[in-house]
Structure 1
Amino acid sequence: MIKADSLDAIKGLVRLALQRERECAEHGSPLTTTASPELTAQLLAVPDSALLAAIQRHRLESLLHGDPLVGALLPTLGDKLKALARAETMAALALASLTREMATLFERAGIPMLVIKGIPLSLQTTGSLTARGRGDLDLLVDPRQVPQALNLLQSAGFNLTYGASLVGANSLQGRYSRFISIEISLVRSRGQRQWIDLHWHPSHARGVLPAFRELFRNRDHVAINGVSASTLALEAAFVHACCHAAVDCWMCIRNLVDVHRLSRRLEHKTLSTQRKYRLVRKTCAVAIDCVPDPRFLTLLASKTSSKECRALSSARKAQMLPWRSLGTGEWTVHNRTRYLLRLMNLSLHPVHLTSMLMQHAIPPESLVDMQTGQPLSAMAVVLGRIEKLARRIRGNDAQLTQQSDH
């Protein structure tokens, strides 16, 4: 858990670093050369270990290490922050190498593909391969070409991370799996593990971004050490970054930094048109609390809505929890239902609502025998889901009985 004072302190550091970054871009050098008394007091009140833990939790090593004023404010953390930033740089370089390999592989195979987030996003927002730090490789393909893309990746030595799946099958189960889910994870071991998330829908928030064909038609190109890689155009990348942050309940400040940096690349008129998206408005309401940017005000109502207030409250709680935590407490019907309702509220598009309900009722992994890799019958799938739900409920009932006995 990250304490509130640690979270507020690193938010202050992020504001300072991004303000100086913005001034440098506009004026050639930063105009702000001192920290506010409030930020100085916040930093003095938080132990170094807590500050460092918060910086790592929110993946801010690369951003904060690169600013000399931030370094002066954290003199006792300088060496540790430098070492962490160096590790982020090396991981980003490894990711750049893998991205080049995959761009070339898909190009030669004739399979249209977009690289989302990762190295292309770093180049779009900072002009640097390494300034954003580490990440997985996310590839987006046409849903109809998932089988070919999976075969291509497996021919390059990648294996499914979580065992057998019917996602790549040209069957009813395969089409169902591709409809209700958006990605599948693969891994390859070559000295170190390399991870790829193969997407066929760009976001868990369905119905917000266009279909693959339109995204590919309007794509941008970035050069990665002489190799051209296709990625989302800036406008789509901004909407995608807002959706990605919202899906994770705005739990990571680095994602909000991405939103801020992308917004600076868009013309004011283009940015204003993004107000039509609920997740853009909510994400900008959260981002402006952490990354003040007057341009975000054009995306918000004149008065903060109750939905935006709830988003701010949810974000703050998520930002203090461990990485990708669903919240406190064990699995219960109440907690799971609350989680499902939050996911459904991401988008009001009928496809999104339908896919979320179906995904939680009968997820893709329940369609296949994990030991043999063979499809299960409809009856076996239904019985398996009922049995798993019964085990969950019995387990919690037993746990509650033990607690009451004490």
Structure 2
Amino acid sequence: MFPPCSPVYPPALVTPIASETLAAVRALTAWVLQRERATEVGSVPPPASEALREQLAALPPAALFQGIQRHRLHLFLQGDPAVGDLLPGLQAELQRAARREVMAALALASLTREMAVLFAEAGIPLLVIKGIPLALQTTGSITARGRGDCDLFVDPSQVGAAIALLQSVGFGLSYGASCVGDDSARGRYSRFVSIEISLHRDVHNHRQWIDLHWHATWARGVLPRFQELWQRGEELPINRQLVRTLSRRDALVHACCHAAVDRYMALRNLVDIDRFERALPPAQLVELSRLRTVRKSWQAMDDAFKEKSASWRFGRANAVRLKAQRAQQQPWRSLGDGGWTVTNRLRYFAHMVNLSHHPLHVFSTLIRQLITPVDLIDPQTGDMRSIRQVVLRRAGKLRRRLEAQAESPDRPD
């Protein structure tokens, strides 16, 4: 279940999809990407093969549309008029969904622009990551990727100031009081073991969400620290307001890290990686292939969209392929095969450790499993918990989960 103030996900995102649906959506996406590549080099875009037509025709339209929704591909597919000819029965639904995505993207662009102005006037260096800047870098349009999060990235030393600034314009901490912005041992610990905090506000009956980052991604140690990323970042215009974001090289690495953290669960994220790859010079791609996280994300992308990998990708990793296919069938942002169990928690811990590139980050992942920033403070009152209270709270939570698991013998572990 989602917390009370979490975004409401549509049914298509919280329902697993069948393997046949995933295979069809992947094949359709691969074909549209082939047409994009052909157009870029001045070639004639290939028509849909008979095999693709048969694969799509074999699925009920509702199942195919569910797969498209699950992977947030409405606007991507709507961008090619040949898709409408291929799927006449879904054309109206795709158009309606695409219009909703465009409206959400316009609202996100307005919020992004507001945040850039706010932080610039306050003198707090800011990078806006993912979202609208990513859409501009990969498509040239602020609406072509559809909805997304407003992810703001600041130096860890500026987290407290950034939270106060956002609160001054009506944002509140989404999960109650927190010490992540404090200049204290608890605050430094919280920033060490976590990477972001969520804030939200309501404007004209619409909830706006911000994820405030002090580390760019949970895949720690792949990208450099904020100051270096900010210095080599680039500025993009959003409604005549310049917004600073990651350089295209760093944005590609970040997109790979983001995809790896989510177990390559969304084909839209792999489409972003494919588009970035085409925009960068080959020598730079070979250099980036030395990064394990980048290489694995390319392997997942190749498996989804291409018949074979480039030779310098070191072939396909079977573990990556299986992980990606499982995640792409599961509900959105699923952390494992089902709810909380010891096995699933250990599987999640192993996944997070595997993303780490330094012993310090492994240590951070380990101690976060023992004590999280939420444990350090009462979110309702803002009172700091004592060490004894923290330990008892964690022990009680673990005991309740183990008891719930023991009472459900049929639950897979």
TM-score normalised by the chain length of structure 2: 0.93
2:90 matched to which residue of 1? 77
Cα drift, residue 164 of structure 1: 1.3
The AA in structure 1 aligned to 2:32 is: A
1:157 matched to which residue of 2? 170
Q: Which has the higher helix share?
A: 1
Instruction: Indicate conservation of the 8 Å contact 2:336/2:348, yes or no.
Output: no
Structure 1 segment 215-294 matched on structure 2, within 5 A: 215-292=229-306
1:207 matched to which residue of 2? 221
Q: Please, which of 37, 57, 61 is the counterpart of residue 22 of structure 1?
A: 37
**What per-residue deviation string (whole Å, max 9, x for no partner) do you get for residues 270-289 of structure 1?**
11100111111111011012
1:148 matched to which residue of 2? 161
Number of equivalent positions:
395
**What per-residue deviation string (whole Å, max 9, x for no partner) do you get for residues 197-221 of structure 1?**
0000001011110000100010011
The AA in structure 2 aligned to 1:70 is: V
2:382 matched to which residue of 1? 373
Cα drift, residue 343 of structure 1: 1.0
Q: Please, which of 190, 202, 205 is the counterpart of residue 189 of structure 1?
A: 202
Separation of aligned partners in 2, 1:148 and 1:279: 32
Instruction: Indicate conservation of the 8 Å contact 1:95/1:137, yes or no.
Output: yes
2:13 matched to which residue of 1? none
Query: What secondary structure sits across from 2:153 in the alignment?
Result: strand
Query: What secondary structure sits across from 1:373 in the alignment?
Result: coil
The CA RMSD over aligned residues, in Å, is 1.4
The AA in structure 2 aligned to 1:56 is: Q
Cα drift, residue 291 of structure 1: 2.6
The answer to whether the aligner puts 1:105 opposite 2:118 as a matched pair is yes
Separation of aligned partners in 2, 1:57 and 1:75: 20
The answer to whether the aligner puts 1:350 opposite 2:350 as a matched pair is no
Query: What secondary structure sits across from 2:96 in the alignment?
Result: helix
Q: Please, which of 89, 104, 110 is the counterpart of residue 102 of structure 2?
A: 89
Q: Please, which of 28, 52, 67 is the counterpart of residue 54 of structure 1?
A: 67
Separation of aligned partners in 1, 2:195 and 2:37: 35
Separation of aligned partners in 2, 1:49 and 1:87: 18
The AA in structure 1 aligned to 2:50 is: P
Cα drift, residue 25 of structure 1: 2.1
- After the TM superposition, which segments of 4 or more aligned residues of structure 1 sit over 6 Å from their partners? none
Cα drift, residue 399 of structure 1: 2.3
The answer to whether the aligner puts 1:398 opposite 2:407 as a matched pair is yes
Query: What secondary structure sits across from 2:310 in the alignment?
Result: helix
Cα drift, residue 33 of structure 1: 4.4
2:7 matched to which residue of 1? none
Separation of aligned partners in 1, 2:277 and 2:337: 33
Cα drift, residue 334 of structure 1: 1.8
Separation of aligned partners in 2, 1:22 and 1:226: 30
Moved more, 3-12 or 81-90: 3-12
Separation of aligned partners in 2, 1:355 and 1:208: 15
Structure 1 segment 168-179 matched on structure 2, within 5 A: 168-179=181-192
The answer to whether the aligner puts 1:116 opposite 2:149 as a matched pair is no
Cα drift, residue 292 of structure 1: 2.5
Separation of aligned partners in 2, 1:279 and 1:165: 31
Query: What secondary structure sits across from 2:339 in the alignment?
Result: coil
Instruction: Indicate conservation of the 8 Å contact 1:111/1:149, yes or no.
Output: yes
Listed as ranges, the gaps of 5+ residues in structure 2 are 1-15
Instruction: Indicate conservation of the 8 Å contact 1:33/1:69, yes or no.
Output: no
Instruction: Indicate conservation of the 8 Å contact 2:39/2:45, yes or no.
Output: no
